[in-house]
Structure 1
Amino acid sequence: MALSPLRSKTLHHGRSLSMPSESRPAMSQFDENLSRIRALGATCSSLSSMNARINELKNLYDSMDDLLQLPQNFSLEGQEQILDDYIRLLDACSTVKDLISLTKQGVRELLSAVRRKDANVTQSYLTSRRKSKKMIQKSLNNLRSFGSKSNAVSLEKDMLKDAESKDMLKDAESVTLSLFEFLLSYVMGTKVQERKSGWSLVSKLMHFKKVSPQDEETDLNEFKKVASFLQLSQESWVEQLVNHLKGMDSSIQILEEGLEVLFRLLIKTRVSLLNTLNH
């Protein structure tokens, strides 16, 4: 049974010695970027670290585009599958970007309600989270289906005459899908490895222990901290919750902007692939 490319994997490259010498520095840069992304993937525990991973992914696509621009590097077959995969990556990126924008809107609405000392703030937040979680879960299911199908194709006979280019394209696709899944799971308040547990943020809140957010030293998920704040009735936490939400708003804004840049890079990559395939 094929392993999902959404799961972490160790760097496996043994780059072909037949590769043109002028492309080896660019390929080395690609491998270094790929290695850093995978290292970050094991330590992403905050919105800021998610932003760091997106920045590394942008660097990865920059280095891949450099390779695609080099002459006589690629001789590709299976054009439809290759281009279809990158169309689906574009669609996935657009969906994730929309969900992050929706999340930012929810954080801003909660911030406004807390500042107004709205008595219905907790229930309104839970209702909003319940709706957004359904949308996110649907997108996660689509991402996992995409990843499974893509990996199954990669295990068939090589679509690319040059195995080097095949590895590069599949690796970029894999870490991109992994980032999308990790990010959406984080926004839901869950971890990727916990996705089979069936727990939702709402169900967790129903059994949430009323502790100070400052006591949650081992749990850095900003969304869980919001839930913890809302479980407290002390007036003294309002200012801290406001500051926490303001920080989240800023981080999510950066995430949204980073995803927009990534979306444009994916478009650029597909154009480069089209140019390569047409020559």
Structure 2
Amino acid sequence: MAATSFHVRSNSLPTRPHPLVSEVEENINRLRSSQSASSSSSSVSHGLRGLQDLQDCVEKLLVLPLNQQALVQDQKFLNQMLDGSLRLLDFCNTTKDALSLMKESVLELQSVLRRRVQGGLHLNDVKQYISTRKAANKAVQKALKNLKGVESSSNESPEIVAVLRDVEAITRDVFESLAPFISSQRRSSGWSLVSKLMHQRKVANEQEAEKKTNEFTLVDASLEAILGSNTTKYEKVQNDLKDLEMCIEYLEEGTECLYRRMIKTRVSLLNIFN
């Protein structure tokens, strides 16, 4: 009698990721897509909001017992995450402080313009603004360099480890795009604006210089124009300063909210470590 063969169907199903993991992955994919888009105040603000949502998801993942157990078993990775979170927090806080400093300088320029409707801006007014920009830029760039060491690795393969590595990487990417946005400058004049004006050098090729600008570089261009020309352009300067003030407020609010969420995540990691 011929042997009868039977096909035995396995009852095991592919392991499905936790719904929160899927949510994290969706948020990361959205952020990666936005990173490839052109840099503007709206896209940068969108990135900060996306990181806030991402941190909320991570916070929920970290309270799950299985995830806590997996992290406890990989102390080296947990230490790396704690170090990385501290550097990311430092960058976020430094950026927040730099934005606050720049907003004060913008408000001061607006106040000066209102007081001197006829007299306009003086060279010293612009020098003070440029000095503030330099100080803010220096602080942000220093914090940005400190991010270069943020990259956690692990030989383990728990789901939570892979998720946290991806979250850390996309947070660093968003921050690295935020830094040049707020510290951008006009290459034709930029920080050398004051010295050029003092030597009475005329600005050349202004149209080309104003390409690829944002709210920060537009104010630089307007200030250069108002001091380097006999033509009164106070209204444009006032409008550009108002736009920059609103831009800074959006970014300031975004970094403040993100900072608070990142603090919560770090506290959760510290609780697991202890």
Q: Please report the TM-score for the alignment, with normalisation by the length of structure 2.
A: 0.76
Distance in 1 between residues matched to 2:99 and 2:113, nearest whole Å: 21
Match for residue 47 of structure 2 among 53, 64, 71: 53
| Structure 1 residue 131 displacement after superposition | 4.4
Aligned to 1:179: 174
Say whether residues 1:72 and 2:66 are aligned partners. Answer: yes
Aligned to 2:9: none
| Structure 1 residue 25 displacement after superposition | 2.0
Aligned to 2:145: 144
Change (3 A) 1:45 1:24: same
Distance in 2 between residues matched to 1:210 and 1:221, nearest whole Å: 18
Q: Which runs of 5+ in 1 are unaligned?
A: 1-16, 192-196
Aligned to 2:8: none
| Structure 1 residue 262 displacement after superposition | 0.5
Distance in 2 between residues matched to 1:181 and 1:47, nearest whole Å: 14
Q: Which amino acid aligns with 1:223?
A: F
Residues 34-45 of structure 1: pairs in structure 2 closer than 5 A: 34-45=28-39
Aligned to 1:133: 134
Max radius of gyration: which structure? 2
| Structure 1 residue 107 displacement after superposition | 1.3
Match for residue 31 of structure 1 among 25, 28, 37: 25
Match for residue 203 of structure 1 among 192, 207, 232: 192
Aligned to 1:113: 112
Distance in 2 between residues matched to 1:200 and 1:183, nearest whole Å: 22
Deviations 1:161-194, CA, capped at 9 Å, x for gaps = 3443233223222332333332231122159xxx
Match for residue 164 of structure 2 among 160, 169, 176: 169
Distance in 1 between residues matched to 2:214 and 2:122, nearest whole Å: 20
Deviations 1:242-262, CA, capped at 9 Å, x for gaps = 122112212211211111110
Query: Which stretch shows the higher mean deviation, 65-74 or 33-42?
Result: 65-74
Aligned to 2:234: 238
8 Å CA contact 1:65–1:272 kept in 2: the answer is yes
Q: Percent identity at matched positions?
A: 33
Distance in 1 between residues matched to 2:235 and 2:134, nearest whole Å: 27
Change (3 A) 1:229 1:36: same
Q: Please report the TM-score for the alignment, with normalisation by the length of structure 1.
A: 0.74
Deviations 1:98-122, CA, capped at 9 Å, x for gaps = 0010111111112222233354445
Aligned to 1:7: none
Distance in 2 between residues matched to 1:131 and 1:82, nearest whole Å: 34
Q: Which runs of 5+ in 2 are unaligned?
A: 1-12, 197-201
8 Å CA contact 1:114–1:121 kept in 2: the answer is no
Change (3 A) 1:86 1:63: same
